[in-house]
Amino acid sequence: MAELSRKSFLSIAGLLLLQVGISGASAAVGPSLKPTKVGQTIIWRGKKYTALKSGKKIIWNKGVALPTPKATSSPSPSATPPPSASPTPTPTPTQTAVAVNSFEIDLAASSDVPNGETRIFYPSDSRAKGKGFIITRDKGRLIAFDVNCTHETCPVELEGPKLICNCHNSIFNKITGAPETGPASEPLRNYPVREALGRIILTDSNSSTA
């Protein structure tokens, strides 16, 4: 009888140890949180566990592994092409307006017109076609006028400090070319004039070339 009781005790103890081992194993591999109702779900260690009823207990099932999300590769930034250099526009050369029939006349030596003096020249250049020019040097600068009166184109003459047209007695200022007495009402035509290498050079833009 004692032997039977001893065997029964060992059998019961073995069953208890087996149940404890199974529970411990389940605890080792399943969620540590105890489920409270059937259908409850939990994500644990990459698996989804669902609570189900086993006998009178609610336990977790074996769990379903969740799919591992694939790493999305970030698109490589497209290289922005460097801005192309805009060609620098070539500046248009500035052209100086020149009369079609413009030409230069070598009138005389620079020493032929002292400072404060006025001289009248009739160049031998055939392009001037017998025209005359009045040259005055005032305070070191040269002033050039046409010799013809603006009244009726009679040639003016130098008489003292004045330029006088003897046809109708018009008088002109030798510095400004303006008429001081009539009948002329327009100033004498002026010309560009310069000095180069000791010579007086006048630009005639009113005569045609030969």
Per DSSP, the three-state class of 54 is strand
> Do 107 and 51 fall into the same domain?
no
Q: Is residue 25 part of a domain?
A: no
> Do 54 and 118 fall into the same domain?
no
Task: Give me the CATH number covering residue 196.
Answer: 2.102.10.10
Q: Give the C-alpha separation, 202 to 183, whole Å.
A: 28
Question: What is the amino acid identity at position 192?
Answer: P
Q: What pLDDT is stored for residue 106 in this prediction?
A: 87
Q: Is residue 183 part of a domain?
A: yes
- 34-71: pLDDT as tens digits: 878 888 787 877 788 887 888 888 887 887 877 766 65
Question: What is the amino acid identity at position 94?
Answer: T
- Residue ranges making up the domain that contains 144: 103-204
Domain boundary among 67, 90, 116: 67
> Do 63 and 114 fall into the same domain?
no
If one counts the domains in the chain, the total is: 2
Domain boundary among 20, 51, 67: 67
Q: What pLDDT is stored for residue 131 in this prediction?
A: 86
> Do 111 and 199 fall into the same domain?
yes
Q: Is residue 191 part of a domain?
A: yes
Query: 170-173 and 64-65 as β-strands: parallel, antiparallel, unpaired?
Result: unpaired
Q: What pLDDT is stored for residue 4 in this prediction?
A: 47
Q: What pLDDT is stored for residue 187 in this prediction?
A: 92
Q: What pLDDT is stored for residue 98 in this prediction?
A: 42
Q: Give the C-alpha separation, 170 to 53, whole Å.
A: 138
Q: Give the C-alpha separation, 92 to 80, whole Å.
A: 35
Q: What pLDDT is stored for residue 137 in this prediction?
A: 92
Q: Give the C-alpha separation, 82 to 188, whole Å.
A: 65
> Do 62 and 131 fall into the same domain?
no
Q: Is residue 193 part of a domain?
A: yes
Q: Give the C-alpha separation, 101 to 206, whole Å.
A: 7
Q: Is residue 79 part of a domain?
A: no
Residue 118 tokens read as: 């006025």
- Below-70 pLDDT ranges, the chain: 1-30, 68-101, 206-210
- Residue 124 CB burial class (10 angstroms; 0-12, 13-18, ≥19): exposed
The distance from CA 44 to its chain's CA centroid, rounded to whole angstroms, is 63
Q: What pLDDT is stored for residue 74 in this prediction?
A: 60
> Do 171 and 109 fall into the same domain?
yes
Residue 143 tokens read as: 């002033």
> Do 136 and 192 fall into the same domain?
yes
> Do 63 and 147 fall into the same domain?
no
pTM, full prediction: 0.49
> Do 189 and 130 fall into the same domain?
yes
> Do 139 and 194 fall into the same domain?
yes
Peptide bond just before 183 cis, omega within 30 deg: yes
Per DSSP, the three-state class of 113 is coil
